[in-house]
Amino acid sequence: MAKGILGTIGLALTLVFAIPVALLGLQFLALEGRPLVGVAFLAIAVLMVGIEEYLTTPTDLPELVLGKTIDTVVEDPTEESETGEPGEPEEGERTG
């Protein structure tokens, strides 16, 4: 999925908070011998990133609606024509 600049910044901010939680989970898991707490912190870190990345929020809805509307109204100029090749004039069209 293509992300805009705001989406990329949002992901970076989420990672700023999720990475320390994951490191804490690794510390509990590997160094302190508390696997249940370590796995819990690792799961929280994964959920933080997953929710930010895949959950549709109210601020995402206008972008989704506009994208679908534009896709139905405007044709993609890079799509192939009915003859099969992009850029070829169709039958009956003059080339110059």
- Could you give the CA distance from residue 28 to residue 24 in angstroms, rounded to a whole number? 6
Q: Is residue 63 part of a domain?
A: yes
Give pLDDT tens digits along the chain (96 positions).
Answer: 567 788 888 889 999 999 999 999 999 999 998 999 999 999 999 999 999 888 767 777 777 787 778 777 777 677 665 555 555 555 665 655
Helix/strand/coil (H/E/C) assignment for every residue in 28-86: HHHHCCCHHHHHHHHHHHHHHHHHHHHCCCCCCHHHHHHHHHHHHHCCCCCCCCCCCCC
- Could you give the CA distance from residue 35 to residue 74 in angstroms, rounded to a whole number? 54
Q: Is residue 79 part of a domain?
A: no
Residue 39's domain comprises 5-71
Q: Is residue 90 part of a domain?
A: no
**Overall number of domains in the chain:** 1
Q: Is residue 88 part of a domain?
A: no
Q: Is residue 20 part of a domain?
A: yes
